[in-house]
Amino acid sequence: MNREETIVNERAREAVYRRALEVRASRTVATQGPASQAWTRTGTVRLAEIPEGVLIGRVALAEPNADVPTGDYYVGSAFHQGDHFTVFNWAARVAATFFADTGHDWCADVVGRRSFAHEGDRIADFEDIRFEGATGGPLFQARRLTVPKAPARALPTPVAAPAASPVSTPMPAPVAEPTSHRAPDAPAPRAGAPLRAEGLLRRQLRAPRTGHLGAVLATLQPDQYDLVTRRADEDLIIEGHPGTGKTVIAAHRAAYLVSRADHELDEGDAPVRRVLLVGPTDEYADHVRPAIDRLTGGSDAVDVISLRRLLATLAGVPDVPEGRAITRIEDGASEIFSFAHAAARIHRKQQAARNRTTMRLRDAYDVLRANGTAQEPITRDPEWDRYFANLPRFESARMSRMLAPMLAAIGWHLSSENPYAGYDCFIVDEAQDVMAAEWALLDAIATGNERWTLLGDLNQRRSDAALASWTHVGDLLGILDDAGDAPVATISRGYRSTAPILEFANRLLPKAERAVRCVQTLGAEVQIARVRTATLHDEAVTRAASLGTRYPDGTVAIISIEHPVTELELTKRRWRKDPDHAYRWTREGQSIDVLNPNYARGLEWDAVVVVEPARFPQNFLRHGLLYTSLTRANQELCVVHSEALPEALRGR
């Protein structure tokens, strides 16, 4: 078959696969009793959580075997054993034969792989790679299929099973997904290893950004796959520069942990029923949720929440304002957690003495402001006493992002319930910006044997009040090894952003950390436009609109400390705020996102205009927030300024 015929044939197989999963998903699953409720959180009859049928790739073996008599198989979103082909779940061990060269005994028998690219829900392209041992003929034998017609009758209405005999999800026998062929202690992929499915990857990187993170299993690289599939009982800290795929790893690891079959777990590796992914902003949560839903079939086993929403829940308040990073060390210090405990304890005594049972955040906060009582001070340290005395009244405190960790800690100690109980794994992205007091809170809500996966870049820290090393973070969470070292894995290959963008942004880093190792080695030079102060935001909008014409199907953003002024300029030009997006403006089919840099963390666009770098807050010898903003662009970066650029960015 020629290339077009091959694509048509693979589409037909995917259609058969998708239809089979739809039928399986229509079957009811009765969940009842404490054991099941621990992971479903309902105990009611529901549909099976089966992802949409998507074929990710195909693997050819040198010889057929008992499990795969055809000699080849697919890797997809869920397991399927059909009459003509087999699909293994991407989270199964055998899928290592597609993603990497090690990790399963069959890896030694692999003679070829095919990776698929999709447009919408259809296979649009593929890339084959042959290995030693492949014959000169076709890598995969052609077995034509026809797409089945949709069933004429409606699927049966789910019916609850009798209470005395709960029904489990009908699953294929474990032997269908081979589990006894894992290659133990396989070495991790080398950082400089060749790219997998390189052609598809490069086309994917050049494709317009959609505004949401996508599932990228077809082009997931071996080093990324290694981190995604680490054991659930392993604590992990992943360090990497902007664009190295940390958020991709976070989302795919969350999905992987809840997608593994119990019968595939290693000895001592407990199943994961629920995962909490904590991100920096609400925008981040909206960005990654679609990818996780696609990978898990919309399962409620993975929750995604911003750190500020988590703090608001613990404080028992409707919302916590987002804003600039905490800069005063005391506001984010770990001692705040223990001081909050003391304030809550004193507050309870006062309430009992007054014969009152209501525990109020305001009253406990006032106890902290007063440093306890004369008979029972919270601390005798004069510096902390002065700090407490200078705290604002409660009405102002609850509107301050700086004091959110304190209010959350007080709320936590006042409450008798843990709203985040039951998670088996916590994944924290942009972890470099989490304060010590916030780590203490996260550690407190992780009440059992939960494991941690942290992702971040210390060069992107927004504040000197944040912990300066992963060793300090690991010590707070109790995840250091016997030698006192943090479990850090470093990733260095950049995917987002071109070499010119990274070379420009990396001038803000210490010289020893400026090495650029990126996939997109070519790209447009960074545009630098110096203008009069009066025309600063006018020029920013003009540049963004021009970039929008070059990326009509993509995304463009303006990142500015003074973003309200930029929005006024957009209003003058008859741009309108999109009611469905917090930061998007539209006009005549074009769109521009306008954000404060604090909200841009973890996000990406095709092109970005950064306005007035001199006004970005600077840490001690670091430009963490500016560095983050300069690296949000995938293809083009423009800097518009009226004041002098930071010294490191001057000159070309």
Element at 345 (helix H, strand E): helix 335-353
Q: Can you give the C-alpha Rg of the chain in angstroms?
A: 27
Kindly report each contact of residues 575-583 with a partner whose C-beta sits within 8 Å and lies 24 or more positions away, as own/partner: 575/541, 582/282, 582/283, 583/283
Question: How many angstroms separate the CA atoms of 530 and 641, rounded?
Answer: 5
Give the HSE-up count for residue 129: Cα atoms under 13 Å, Cβ half-sphere: 18
Residue pair 299/275 in contact (Cβ under 8 Å)? The answer is: no
Edge-to-edge order in the sheet of strand 122-130:
80-81, 86-89, 72-76, 55-61, 110-119, 122-130
Three-class DSSP labels, 69-119 = CCCEEEEECCCEECCCCEEEECCCHHHHHHHCCCCCHHHHHEEEEEEEEEE
Task: Look up residue 530 and give its two tokens.
Answer: 């110096």
The strand ranges marked E within 435-550 are 451-456, 488-491, 527-530
Reference 195, options 239, 225, 227; nearest CA is 225
Question: Measured between alpha carbons, how far is residue 102 from residues 222, 382, 634 in Å?
Answer: 9, 59, 31
Reference 276, options 312, 307, 298, 249; nearest CA is 307
Reference 497, options 632, 307, 316, 312; nearest CA is 632
Question: How many angstroms separate the CA atoms of 51 and 296, rounded?
Answer: 6
Task: Look up residue 571 and give its two tokens.
Answer: 């209003």
Residues 6+ apart with CB under 8 A from 224: 245, 248, 249, 252, 491
Reference 473, options 239, 230, 233, 245; nearest CA is 239
Question: Residue 543, Cβ neighbours under 10 Å: how many?
Answer: 21
Q: Is 240 labelled a binding residue?
A: yes
Question: How many angstroms separate the CA atoms of 215 and 206, rounded?
Answer: 16
Residue pair 148/16 in contact (Cβ under 8 Å)? The answer is: yes
Residue pair 29/169 in contact (Cβ under 8 Å)? The answer is: yes
Q: Is 241 labelled a binding residue?
A: yes
Residue pair 264/292 in contact (Cβ under 8 Å)? The answer is: no
Q: Give strand pairing partners of 304.
A: 277
Q: Is 571 labelled a binding residue?
A: no
Element at 611 (helix H, strand E): strand 605-611
Q: What is the dihedral of CA 460, 463, 468, 474, to 10 degrees?
A: -90
Task: Look up residue 23 and give its two tokens.
Answer: 């039928």
Question: How many angstroms separate the CA atoms of 146 and 248, rounded?
Answer: 35
Question: How many angstroms separate the CA atoms of 418 and 412, rounded?
Answer: 8
Element at 569 (helix H, strand E): helix 563-572
Query: Residue with structure tokens 């599932």?
Result: 215
CA 355 to chain centroid, in Å, comes to 47
Q: Is 456 labelled a binding residue?
A: no
Q: Is 247 labelled a binding residue?
A: yes
Q: Is 478 labelled a binding residue?
A: no
**397: region left, alpha or beta (phi > 0 left; psi from -120 to 50 alpha):** alpha
Binding residues: 240-247
Binding residues for ATP: 240-247
